[in-house]
Each structure stands twice: as C-alpha cells, then as structure tokens.
C-alpha cells in the first residue's frame, strides 16, 4: 500500500467518509462512524471527495479496529461458485440464480404500445422507466437515541426476489438498528402510485464490498432482472432509479463512461462502472439499468471535485452476485483468510522516538482462531511476513492468494523482561474471516 512507512496509527487521524444519506434531522444524534481502514487513505485522490463509502472486493485488506488492525485475505483466493449457482445453499435458502429463475424484465406496468428497437432495447426511455421503477424501493433506517426511535437516514434498494430479498449498500444500513422499506405499485393507466411499508430484517452486510441484503415478508413483488455487466460497452445508454434527497422513484439518464474502474486502492479495488448519470445523496443502493431493463450495477458513490463533475459509480452486478449469495446464505462473505490478530502499526520514526521496534505490535490475539496456538503472544512486533518487510508497499500481496487453512510465516521481535530483543519465526495457520 502507499505511504505504509512511518504510518503511526496513534497519531494519524482517520479519514472521514461523508454519508450519501440525507442530512440528519434536527436533534438527531451524531453518527458514531466506525473507523475506516488505513487502505482507504491511499484511495483518496488529491482534491477529490468520495461520497458513498464504496470499498474494495478482492485482494487483501485491512479491517481497522480502533487503533489496531486485523489482516484478512482476498475472497478471490478460494474457488468461486459455479456459473449457474444451481446448488441449494447449505442453509436451505435458494441461491440468487434460483430466485431469479422465473424473473423477467418487469412488464406489469407497461402498456401494449411499447416499442422496441431491433436489438431488443426499449425505443423510449419512458417505457423503460415504467417497466422497472417499482423494482427499486425506498429504505429508511432508524436508531435508538435516548430511549426513542429516530430516523437515521434514507436511501434506495433493489428487489431481487419476489419474496422480498433486497440488495442495497452497506453504508446505507451500517450503524442502524431498524429498517423500513417502502414498496411502490404504479397503475399503468393512471400513473397513480400506491405504497406499502414493511419492516425489514438485515440478512447480511459486507463493508468491504459495500453491499448488504435486507428481507421483507412479502409475496409476488416486482423483482428486478439482474443482467450481465460483462457485456457493457462504452457509450451504452443507462438509467439510474433511486430516491435522491428523499425524492422517491427519481430517474436520471446517461451513458457508460468507463469500465473496470477501481474505486479504492489497487490492492482492494472493486471493479466499478463509471457513468455520467447524475447520482445524488439517497441514490445509494439503487439500480443502474441498461436499455434492456436489466440491473447491471448497484449505485454506490459519486466523486465531487471543483474540477470535475458527472463522476458516478456503480458496483458491477456480476461481481455483486457472489457476495449477495454469500450474504443470503451465511450472513458474511466466505473464503477470506484471517490472521486473527489486532495490532498497532508503529512507524520507524515513532519507533525511534519511543525506543521501540518498528512494525506491527500485536495488541490482541483471537482465542477462537488458529493463531492462538501458534506461539505468537501479545507484545510481539511483526517485522516480516513470508520474508517480506511489512513496510513494503505491496506487503498485502503476501495474502492475496491465501485461503483459510493456508500458513504464513511471520518474523517477530520479542522483548524479554530484561529489555533484550530476540528475533524468531512463527508459522501461523490462517482462519476464516466471518465479517465480525
């Protein structure tokens, strides 16, 4: 990672990521935002404000916990589900493909006068909008404050199954305790919109891909058809449907401006779609549709800069599918290997000033993970992993291909009671990270 050398977690303030949710109402408690990863420092571009809090999927990442950090590997290190994902989950819950099996591009509110181009795309944007808009919902989040339930934020979500599974962004639901979902039903003749509000249950969430899944108890909902984001080309027409600033079922239109964008640092980069479609606060978790009426992205951020505009991003739906499957089945993204420690990173300058060893000073060992039996102890300072200095920019590449059960060799400096330092190598079996 960039700027790893001399990075002092104790003295360096963490970056704050503004929420894409509407401003807090008067009297609303300030958000106690979870600390963000040191990896995100490298993700910030000079003069650029990232709105939406998207994070990376793939590659090793650092999950910052107060002043300490836990090392976790890439979920890409394990084999992916088969393309058809036809097997039933171990929990008995249908897979995403099974949920989508009988879902077509919604047509319930499209009149018989709809015209299509020769390639099968909608001739007119209004017909496309009529077909898909009710598959995007309005999400409100709530917190308990001084014994009272207060609204915390509002954003968007996408219905992905007829029985009420809804995908949204992690940053929409994080730190909230209760959720409601408003589902719209638009009369195709009159345009009159009827709404029904449901309490929602949080099924799973993943900060590193900025995805979450909610569930409402409902039947025969208008589920969106998930498309194939790998078929996108620059210049393709797209529309975004969401609830910016609380304006429900708002629609904006644009084109695909870029593909395979990395919205965080290169180690953790989630492949994203760039679009000039206007994206605003409250659009988060909403859908980016192609001209066929299929979801090809989950809207999650925009970038704001005095020298740039119209830089919106959406998580590619193809990458999101595996995450959604895991969240529904397990509540977390599987296949991530975890070292199982928290630590304080002490830079070389700070170490020289304090008379300590520069490196990752172990502050806690998870007793439920394999590392607890490795011989590593609290107070050890990790200086190398598999022979690579922890101060090298690409140190996290050591974990990029690791999976649970694999072993890494850490070189540590241990100081005895007399103040004498001893260097030793310790083999540590990696455990599975479950998003805790």
Which residues does the annotation mark as catalytic? 171, 210, 284
Which residues touch 90 (CB under 8 Å, ≥6 apart)?
329
Cα separation, 305 vs 46, in Å, equals 9
Burial label, 160 (beta-carbon count in 10 A; 0-12, 13-18, 19+): buried
Cα dihedral angle (381, 37, 55, 45), rounded to 10 degrees?
-110
Cα dihedral 219, 225, 229, 235 sign: negative
DSSP 380-405: -EEEEETTEETTSTTGGGGGTT--TT
What b/e sequence results for 118-136 when a residue is b if at least 16 CB atoms lie within 10 Å of its CB, and e otherwise? eeeebeeeebbbbbbbbbb
Cα separation, 358 vs 10, in Å, equals 13
Q: By the 8 A CB rule, do 157 and 181 touch?
A: yes
Which residues touch 101 (CB under 8 Å, ≥6 apart)?
none
Six token digits for residue 407: 């072993």
Which residues touch 394 (CB under 8 Å, ≥6 apart)?
1, 267, 388
Question: Tell me, what DSSP letter sits at residue 116?
Answer: B
In sequence order, what E strands does 270-420 have?
271-275, 287-290, 294-305, 308-316, 337-338, 341-346, 359-365, 381-385, 388-389, 407-415
Cα separation, 224 vs 39, in Å, equals 34
Identify the three-state secondary structure at position 354: helix
Q: What are phi and psi of 311, to 5 degrees?
A: -110, 85
């Amino acid at each position: 990672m960039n700027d790893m050398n001399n990075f002092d977690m104790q003295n360096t303030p963490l970056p704050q990521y503004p929420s894409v949710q509407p401003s807090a109402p008067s009297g609303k408690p300030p958000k106690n935002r979870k600390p963000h990863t040191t990896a995100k420092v490298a993700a910030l571009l000079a003069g650029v404000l990232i709105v939406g809090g998207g994070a990376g999927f793939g590659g090793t990442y650092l999950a910052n916990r107060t002043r300490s950090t836990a090392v976790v590997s890439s979920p890409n290190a394990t084999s992916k589900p088969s393309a058809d994902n036809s097997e039933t989950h171990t929990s008995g819950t249908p897979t995403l493909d099974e949920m989508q099996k009988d879902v077509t591009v919604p047509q319930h509110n499209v009149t018989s006068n709809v015209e299509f181009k020769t390639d099968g795309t909608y001739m007119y944007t209004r017909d496309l909008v009529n077909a898909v808009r009710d598959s995007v919902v309005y999400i409100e989040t709530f917190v308990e404050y001084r014994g009272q339930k207060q609204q915390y934020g509002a954003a968007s979500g996408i219905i992905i199954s007829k029985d009420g599974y809804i995908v949204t962004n992690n940053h929409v639901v994080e730190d909230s305790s209760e959720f409601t979902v408003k589902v719209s039903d638009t009369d195709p003749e009159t345009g009159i919109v009827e709404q029904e509000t449901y309490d929602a249950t949080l099924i799973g969430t993943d900060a590193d891909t900025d995805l979450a899944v909610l569930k409402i108890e409902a039947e025969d909902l208008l589920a969106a058809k998930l498309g194939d984001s790998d078929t996108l080309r620059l210049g393709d027409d797209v529309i975004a449907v969401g609830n910016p600033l609380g304006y429900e079922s708002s629609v904006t239109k644009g084109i695909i401006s870029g593909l395979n964008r990395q919205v965080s640092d290169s180690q953790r980069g989630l492949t994203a779609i760039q679009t000039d479609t206007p994206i605003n606060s409250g659009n988060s978790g909403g859908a980016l549709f192609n001209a066929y009426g299929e979801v090809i992205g989950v809207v999650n951020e925009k970038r704001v800069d005095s020298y740039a505009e119209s830089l919106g991003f959406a998580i590619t739906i193809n990458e999101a599918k595996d995450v959604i499957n895991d969240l529904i089945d397990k509540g977390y993204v599987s296949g991530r290997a975890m070292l199982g420690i928290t630590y304080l990173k002490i830079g070389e300058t700070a170490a020289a000033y304090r008379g300590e060893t520069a490196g990752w000073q172990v502050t806690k060992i998870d007793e439920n993970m394999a590392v607890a039996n490795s011989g590593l102890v609290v107070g050890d300072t990790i200086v190398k992993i598999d022979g690579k200095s922890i101060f090298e920019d690409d140190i996290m590449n050591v974990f990029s291909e690791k999976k649970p059960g694999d072993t890494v060799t850490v070189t540590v400096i241990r100081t005895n009671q007399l103040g004498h330092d001893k260097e030793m190598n310790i083999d540590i079996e990696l455990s599975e990270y479950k998003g805790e």
